Structure 1
Amino acid sequence: MRIDLHTHSTASDGTDTPAELVRNAAASGLDVVALTDHDTVAGHAEARAALPAGLTLVTGAELSCRLRLPAGARPGGAESAGAHAAADTDTDTDGSVSLHMLAYLFDPDEPELFRERELVRDDRTPRAQAMVVKLRELGVPVSWEQVAKIAGDGAVGRPHVAAAMVELGIIASVSDAFTPDWLANDGRAYVEKHELDPFDAIRLVKAAGGVTVCAHPLAFKRGQCVPESAIAELASAGLDGIEVDHMDHDEPTRARLRGLAADLGLLITGSSDYHGSRKTCRLGEYTTDPEIYGEIIRRATGAFPVPGAGG
């Protein structure tokens, strides 16, 4: 059984529609795929309607969180000096670090979690507009109309702004925008957004019957780094697992995370973090063990996986 528990569609910053995503997942030989768009469940209905026979859909979302670090804390725990340097690039001047929380099989109508997702969603447009203003002040002739066209009906985010910069020839690829020169945290054109406290996110998802997994926690090359001490605190607060097998984790990092998961009693997941043509990762590039998937299902009470019926 091949299981990919982290994908994105045009409902957020992917390039496949939800229907295309599930069809492509089936064509890639997957048996289970999770649709985890950023802070939204808007793509779930379309994905369900198009779900091919033989493919199971896990409903979910990737929640934007911000972890406040104690004074003097360094992201990533006891890494080498080189890893420390990379980790420090994503630590904001207020002593916080960005963290993405994968939430699976929660009740999408649970009021408190729904309200928080709406706050994040409502903040996305003014935030992106403010980034466009900053870029124009830096001499980049990007327009809001261009960014909005790229985003379409999806929840607008930094990748859409980055794609506009690619269209203008300012940078070669979307990933090139996520540097201090442009859109990285504390970059010249960066604008903060509303984000959940990860401890609140765990509480809200649990209350909605869902399961939580910390996404790519030590992805140093993208800057998304979380201190190991904080992962331990999140585990004590009810975190279910950590995403270990991911394209932005090298082999030594995966080994470290496996050891950490074993010490903390956390589930280990693997997934592609697929975004369609916007990123190089492929559907099913990394997968989750069927036994882990079974445990996620056993823990969830808010929703159930959806078996394909040939839609």
Structure 2
Amino acid sequence: MKADLHVHSHYSDGADSVEKVIKKAKKAGVTAISFVEHDTISGWREQQRIAETHNIQAIPGIEISAYDFKRQRKVHILGYHFNSEALAINRLCKGLLELRHSHSMWQMSQIQAAGFNLDSEAVIESAKPSATVYKQHIMQQLTDAPYTSKEYQFLYKSLFKGKGVAAGDIEYASAADAVQAIVSDGGLAVMAHPGQLDSYELIPELIGAGLGGIERNHFDHSAEDHLKVEELARQYGLVMTGGSDYHGAFGAMIEPGDIVSPGDVNSVKRL
């Protein structure tokens, strides 16, 4: 079984439709897939339906934007195999999505005030079916340069980082609250790419909240990260997962199936 348990589509900050992602995954020999859209499960029914037509197992997933308030760091928590109602997850994420969209609207107003030609209505339209605007949607209207190019990265950083006119962020939920929401809905809560966000120290503190897994395979993880993840998984009895973190043209140059989850996908089911 070849499982890519970390892909994104245009239901959040991915550039591609669900069908396009799944067709790419099928071509790569992927047999199980999980769309872990940021703070939403609105695309689940379509993801499930299209995956089935291509004989790929679709696993319910989400990536919740959270925060380690002790260390003042962002944290991403993946959730898998939660129940279809997902009441706790939806309750937590509703506020996050509203805050993110409101912040994006403010960012666009700041960018316009700085003299950039930016049509906010066009940005909102281009983001659909996502009801939330992300920075990637704003950038799409500002430049044709590829995400990986120096031109794109310079503009992105000059606008959204440091003293940029659209810098700043929203207030996220605590990582423990994100884990508890997933567990409350019957799912498996997994620490996403701890090597990328330097969230290793938080993992032991989340065991009591119900953390059940840790992402090992990710394009931002080194061999040293793999060893750290393996040791933590052994120490706390955590499931190890992995995936491509595919965003299409809105992300790194990687394709669905280039990075997959270690072991049997059934191990991701809530124990």
TM-score (norm 1): 0.77
Secondary structure at 1:218 match in 2: helix
Answering whether residue 168 of structure 2 is matched by residue 191 of structure 1, we say yes
Secondary structure at 2:160 match in 1: coil
Quote the residue 1:100 is aligned against: 76
Answering whether residue 28 of structure 2 is matched by residue 28 of structure 1, we say yes
Distance in 2, Cα, partners of 1:294 & 1:185: 43
Q: Which amino acid aligns with 1:283?
A: P
Distance in 1, Cα, partners of 2:45 & 2:101: 23
**Do the aligned partners of residues 174 and 207 (structure 1) sit closer, same or farther apart at CA in structure 2, a change above 3 Å counting?**
farther
Cα contact 1:163–1:174 (8 A) shared by 2: no
Distance in 1, Cα, partners of 2:255 & 2:107: 29
TM-superposed CA distance for 1:211, in Å, is: 0.6
Match 2:109 to one of 108, 116, 133:
133
Cα contact 1:120–1:195 (8 A) shared by 2: yes
Match 1:295 to one of 258, 267, 271:
267
Deviation string for 1:215-270 (max 9, x for gaps)? 11221xxxx332x3212111232211111211111222222332233233222212
**Do the aligned partners of residues 166 and 252 (structure 1) sit closer, same or farther apart at CA in structure 2, a change above 3 Å counting?**
farther
Cα contact 1:241–1:269 (8 A) shared by 2: yes
Structure 1 stretch 228-237 or stretch 26-35: which is displaced more?
228-237
Q: How is 1:205-216 mapped onto 2 (pairs within 5 angstroms)?
A: 205-216=182-193
Structure 1 stretch 249-258 or stretch 160-169: which is displaced more?
160-169
TM-superposed CA distance for 1:128, in Å, is: 0.6
State percent identity of aligned pairs. 25
Q: Which amino acid aligns with 1:25?
A: A
Distance in 1, Cα, partners of 2:127 & 2:74: 22
Answering whether residue 225 of structure 2 is matched by residue 253 of structure 1, we say yes
**Do the aligned partners of residues 268 and 25 (structure 1) sit closer, same or farther apart at CA in structure 2, a change above 3 Å counting?**
same
TM-superposed CA distance for 1:165, in Å, is: 3.0
Q: How is 1:1-311 mapped onto 2 (pairs within 5 angstroms)?
A: 1-51=1-51, 52-69=53-70, 73=71, 96-154=72-130, 155-167=132-144, 172=150, 175-176=153-154, 179=157, 181-184=158-161, 188-219=165-196, 224-226=197-199, 228-279=200-251, 280-291=253-264, 293-299=265-271
TM-superposed CA distance for 1:194, in Å, is: 4.4
**Do the aligned partners of residues 161 and 241 (structure 1) sit closer, same or farther apart at CA in structure 2, a change above 3 Å counting?**
same
Give the total of aligned pairs. 267
Distance in 1, Cα, partners of 2:162 & 2:181: 26
Cα contact 1:166–1:172 (8 A) shared by 2: no
Deviation string for 1:1-48 (max 9, x for gaps)? 111001111111112212222232212210100011111111111122
Distance in 2, Cα, partners of 1:57 & 1:50: 9
Distance in 2, Cα, partners of 1:288 & 1:185: 35
Q: Which ranges in structure 1 are unaligned for 5 or more consecutive residues?
A: 74-95, 300-311
Distance in 1, Cα, partners of 2:12 & 2:257: 20
Secondary structure at 1:30 match in 2: coil
Distance in 1, Cα, partners of 2:231 & 2:46: 39
TM-superposed CA distance for 1:112, in Å, is: 3.0
**Do the aligned partners of residues 173 and 39 (structure 1) sit closer, same or farther apart at CA in structure 2, a change above 3 Å counting?**
farther
TM-score (norm 2): 0.88
Measured on the aligned residues, the alpha-carbon RMSD in Å equals 2.5
Distance in 1, Cα, partners of 2:267 & 2:165: 43
**Do the aligned partners of residues 176 and 57 (structure 1) sit closer, same or farther apart at CA in structure 2, a change above 3 Å counting?**
farther
Structure 1 stretch 109-118 or stretch 31-40: which is displaced more?
109-118
Q: Which amino acid aligns with 2:255?
A: R
**Do the aligned partners of residues 126 and 285 (structure 1) sit closer, same or farther apart at CA in structure 2, a change above 3 Å counting?**
same
Deviation string for 1:156-210 (max 9, x for gaps)? 21222232332489x856555553x332477542232242211011111111000
**Do the aligned partners of residues 200 and 185 (structure 1) sit closer, same or farther apart at CA in structure 2, a change above 3 Å counting?**
farther
Q: Which ranges in structure 2 are unaligned for 5 or more consecutive residues?
A: none
Distance in 1, Cα, partners of 2:126 & 2:162: 22
**Do the aligned partners of residues 178 and 63 (structure 1) sit closer, same or farther apart at CA in structure 2, a change above 3 Å counting?**
farther
